[in-house]
């Protein structure tokens, strides 16, 4: 087979951080080439380079043997590279037809020659088995059909290389089968497909070759027929330090929180949770492992009262929760380190001091008469104490947190949440984007909270972190808990397969 696209020594730096380093990738004509890697392995950066959204820091791209510079999405389109984004780029207020022809300048006519273009599109659609109702508005068609519109959109623009970013993420099983039929059809017509996915079963079913990325590097390109799920999972995750420097404890009898058959948005595999039952005891860390976007955000928001589950019950200290309100959960001594500290945890335009007391300002320690009088002196004193205790590096406690580094921002969240002396701590991606020093600091703090008897739900897409800290490990996949394992000497291979959806 001929080579369609060659990416040679592609490096992309953001500030001091390498998102991609010396990536080499060869896509042949008429193949399905899978990019496999954990979150943050550099897949999306690489694809954004390919479609002209980012410029590589160094390295070169060859298309059909010619060196090319892709500096805009329209340039990529002209070359024949089309992408179906994970979050569809469809204008909801428009019809399928309108979305497909958007921005296309195939003929010089001012008016849209509806009948003729429609005929072309329908021909194209039937050639690849892409059934779409061409005159319906986007809002009225299913997610699977929306995806077919996206593919059709790319094909109508003459795409020869189609990038599908997590295309099965939002689909039902039947829709996935349909998508695979389309992909096979595309291949038989000499088109090439770059397939991005975490799901081992799908990867093994559809791919011809598989390239594994880890921490911004290309690890290996394998032939589908010469590999298996175990090898791929091991390559993707890398060598794991099984021994953790933290002591693991076994589960105590006393439950702090118990979830019984909790569902939220259960039709959605990626923005919902389905029939989850689990318990967290006093002084243990329950790690929730899983690839991003398998319902972890929703789980975190249910157990902190931000969203109300559609089905099931939650018991706090043995008592059923009647109403879901974040404030009630806070008053029940539940702390939350949310997944996005800038959006959900901190008020960026407020000072370090103000963020530290955000939840506790009305406590008698900081104010009199229900907050009518603030004890400014004590607040300042307390904030300076916290600054020292949690090593928050800022010019003063009056500095706006927006201007602090990620690590220092997270320390503020940590200080606020841990100083409440919680009985349950829900920590979501607590070290995302932090450097090694800050990460270790956060880990130590979580462990010491546990040792004081706090129950911890640790949700993280960073498998190392889960292995290091968890006393028990639950794996989440498509909104469900697919297995619970001991955190002491955990079966790493089994867990990584479960994370990729191969629990059986």
Partner 1 sequence: MKNMLIKIFVPVISVLCSFIIGAILITIIGGNPMEAYTYLFKGAFCTPANIGETVIKAVPLIFTGLAATFAYKCGVFNLGGEGQFVMGAVVSIWISTTLKGITGIPLIIISLTLGTIAGGIWGAIPGILKITRGLNEIIVSIMLNYVAILFMGYLYTGPLREGNVPQTASVPVKLGRIFSQSRVHYGIVIALILTLIIYYFLFYTSKGFKLRAVGLNQIASQFNGLPVKKFMLFSFIISGAIAGLGGSVELHGTQFRLMSGFGQGYGFDGVAIALIGQLNPIGTVLVAYLFAILRTGATTMQVGSGMPTSVIDIIQALVIVFAVAGSAFINLPKIRQFFSNVFSKPRKEPL
Partner 2 sequence: METVFDIIFIQELLLSTVRMATPILIVALAELYSERAGLVNIGLDGIMTFGALSGFLICYITGNPYLGILAGAISGILINMIYAFCTIHLGAEQIVYGMAINIFAPALASFIYKIYFGISSTLVQATLMKTVPIPILNKIPVLGVVFFNHTPIVYIAYLLVPLTYVFFSKTKLGLNYKAIGEFPKAAESMGINVMLNKYIACIICGILAGIGGAYLTTAYISTYSDGVVAGRGFIALSAVIFGRWMPGGVLLAALLFGFTDALQLRLQVMSSGTPYQLLAMIPYLSTLFVLAFFGIKKAGPKANGKPYFREER
Contacting range for partner 2; rule: CB under 8 A; set: 67-75, 214-222, 426-434, 453-461: 67-75
In the complex, the smallest distance separating the C-beta of residue 335 from partner 1, rounded to whole angstroms, is 11
User: Both tokens of residue 4?
Assistant: 């369609």
Which listed option, partner 1, partner 2, none, makes contact with residue 336 (CB within 5 to 8 Å by class)?
Answer: partner 1
Query: Nearest Cα to 95, choosing from 64, 125, 133?
Result: 133
Backbone angles phi, psi at 227, to 5 degrees: -145, 180
In the complex, the smallest distance separating the C-beta of residue 359 from partner 1, rounded to whole angstroms, is 6
**By CB under 8 A, residue 49 contacts partner 2:** no
**By CB under 8 A, residue 326 contacts partner 1:** yes
**By CB under 8 A, residue 420 contacts partner 1:** no
- Contact pick of 371, 378, 389, 421 for partner 1 (by CB under 8 A): 371
Alpha helices in 173-222 (DSSP H): 173-188, 200-206
Q: Which residues contact 87 (CB under 8 A, 6 or more apart)?
A: none
Task: Please provide the DSSP assignment of 311-361 as one string.
Answer: EEEEEETTEE-----HHHHHHTTEEEE-S-IIIII--TTSBHHHHHTTTTT
DSSP classification of residue 252:
P
- Contact pick of 79, 101, 280, 434 for partner 2 (by CB under 8 A): 101
β-bridge partners, 260: 313
Distances, alpha carbon 283 to alpha carbons 139, 211, 248, 254, 451, in Å: 47, 41, 11, 9, 6
Which listed option, partner 2, partner 1, none, makes contact with residue 93 (CB within 5 to 8 Å by class)?
Answer: partner 2
Q: Which positions from 61 to 90 touch partner 1 by CB under 8 A, shown as an x/- string?
A: ------------------------------
Specify the 3-state DSSP secondary structure of 60. Answer: strand
- Contact pick of 73, 348, 406, 453 for partner 1 (by CB under 8 A): 348
DSSP classification of residue 396:
-
Contacting range for partner 2; rule: CB under 8 A; set: 84-92, 217-225, 478-486, 491-499: 84-92
- Per the CB < 8 A criterion, the answer to whether 50 and 61 are in contact is yes
**By CB under 8 A, residue 102 contacts partner 2:** yes
Distances, alpha carbon 395 to alpha carbons 347, 390, 401, in Å: 18, 15, 11
Measured from the CB atom, the residue of 124 and 215 that comes closer to partner 1 is 215
Distance CA 137, CA 279 (A): 44
Longest CA–CA span in the chain (Å) reads 78
Which listed option, partner 2, partner 1, none, makes contact with residue 98 (CB within 5 to 8 Å by class)?
Answer: partner 2
Q: Which positions from 422 to 461 touch partner 2 by CB under 8 A, shown as an x/- string?
A: ----------------------------------------
CA 147-221-191 angle, to 5 degrees, is 40
Measured from the CB atom, the residue of 112 and 368 that comes closer to partner 1 is 368
Backbone angles phi, psi at 115, to 5 degrees: -65, -45
Measured from the CB atom, the residue of 28 and 118 that comes closer to partner 2 is 118
User: Both tokens of residue 61?
Assistant: 């791209």
Which listed option, partner 1, partner 2, none, makes contact with residue 350 (CB within 5 to 8 Å by class)?
Answer: partner 1
- Per the CB < 8 A criterion, the answer to whether 442 and 434 are in contact is yes
- Per the CB < 8 A criterion, the answer to whether 415 and 322 are in contact is no
Binding residues for partner 2, total number by CB under 8 A:
24
In the complex, the smallest distance separating the C-beta of residue 327 from partner 1, rounded to whole angstroms, is 4
**By CB under 8 A, residue 140 contacts partner 1:** no
Measured from the CB atom, the residue of 108 and 225 that comes closer to partner 2 is 108
**By CB under 8 A, residue 77 contacts partner 2:** yes
Distances, alpha carbon 40 to alpha carbons 163, 225, 249, 288, in Å: 18, 27, 30, 18
- Contact pick of 306, 384, 486, 493 for partner 1 (by CB under 8 A): 306
Give the pairing type, strands 480-486 and 472-477. Answer: antiparallel
Distance CA 158, CA 397 (A): 57
Measured from the CB atom, the residue of 8 and 85 that comes closer to partner 2 is 85
**By CB under 8 A, residue 361 contacts partner 1:** yes
Contacting range for partner 2; rule: CB under 8 A; set: 101-109, 121-129, 191-199, 436-444: 101-109
- Contact pick of 219, 229, 374, 503 for partner 1 (by CB under 8 A): 374
- Interface with partner 1 (CB under 8 A): 16, 304, 306, 325-327, 329-331, 336, 338, 343-350, 354, 358-359, 361-362, 366-367, 370-374, 376, 396, 398, 400, 403
- Interface with partner 2 (CB under 8 A): 14, 53-54, 72-74, 77, 85, 89-94, 98, 101-105, 109-112
């Amino acid at each position: 087979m001929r080579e369609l696209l060659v990416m040679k020594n592609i490096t992309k730096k953001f500030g001091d951080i390498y998102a991609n380093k010396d990536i080499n990738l060869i896509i042949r004509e008429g193949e399905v080439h899978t990019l496999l890697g954990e979150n943050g392995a550099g897949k999306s950066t690489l694809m954004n380079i390919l479609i002209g959204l980012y410029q590589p820091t160094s390295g070169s791209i060859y298309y059909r043997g010619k060196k090319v510079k892709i500096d805009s999405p329209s340039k990529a389109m002209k070359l024949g590279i089309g992408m179906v984004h994970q979050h569809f780029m469809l204008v909801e207020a428009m019809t399928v037809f309108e979305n497909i022809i958007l921005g296309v300048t195939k003929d010089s006519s001012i008016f849209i020659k509806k009948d003729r273009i429609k005929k072309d599109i329908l021909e194209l659609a039937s050639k690849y088995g892409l059934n779409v109702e061409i005159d319906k508005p986007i809002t009225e068609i299913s997610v699977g059909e929306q995806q077919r519109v996206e593919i059709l959109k790319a094909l109508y623009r003459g795409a020869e290389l189609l990038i599908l970013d997590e295309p099965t993420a939002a689909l039902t099983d039947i829709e996935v089968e349909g998508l695979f039929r389309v992909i096979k059809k595309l291949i038989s017509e000499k088109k090439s497909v770059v397939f991005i996915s975490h799901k081992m079963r799908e990867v093994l079913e559809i791919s011809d070759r598989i390239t594994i990325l880890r921490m911004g590097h290309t690890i290996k390109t394998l032939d589908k027929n010469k590999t298996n799920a175990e090898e791929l999972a091991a390559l993707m995750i890398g060598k794991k330090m099984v021994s953790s420097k933290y002591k693991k404890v076994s589960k105590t009898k006393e439950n702090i929180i118990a979830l019984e058959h909790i569902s939220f948005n259960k039709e959605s595999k990626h923005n919902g949770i389905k029939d989850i039952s689990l318990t967290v005891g006093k002084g243990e860390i329950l790690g929730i492992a899983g690839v991003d976007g398998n319902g972890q955000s929703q789980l975190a928001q249910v157990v902190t009262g931000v969203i109300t589950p559609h089905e099931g019950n939650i018991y706090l200290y043995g008592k059923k929760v009647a109403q879901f309100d974040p404030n009630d959960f806070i008053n029940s001594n539940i702390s939350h380190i949310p997944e996005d500290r800038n959006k959900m945890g901190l008020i960026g335009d407020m000072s370090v001091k103000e963020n530290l007391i955000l939840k506790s300002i009305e406590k008698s320690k900081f104010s009199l008469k229900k907050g009518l009088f603030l004890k400014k002196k004590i607040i300042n004193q307390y904030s300076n104490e916290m600054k020292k205790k949690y090593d928050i590096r800022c010019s003063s406690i009056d500095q706006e947190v927006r201007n602090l580094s990620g690590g220092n921002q997270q320390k503020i969240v940590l200080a606020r949440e841990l100083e409440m002396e919680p009985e349950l701590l829900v920590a979501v991606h607590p070290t995302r984007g932090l450097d090694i020093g800050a990460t270790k600091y956060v880990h130590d703090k979580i462990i010491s909270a546990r040792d004081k008897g706090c129950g911890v739900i640790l949700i993280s897409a960073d498998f190392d972190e889960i292995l290091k800290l968890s006393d028990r490990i639950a794996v989440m996949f498509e909104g469900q808990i697919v297995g619970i394992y001991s955190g002491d000497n955990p079966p790493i291979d089994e867990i990584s397969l479960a994370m990729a959806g191969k629990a059986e």
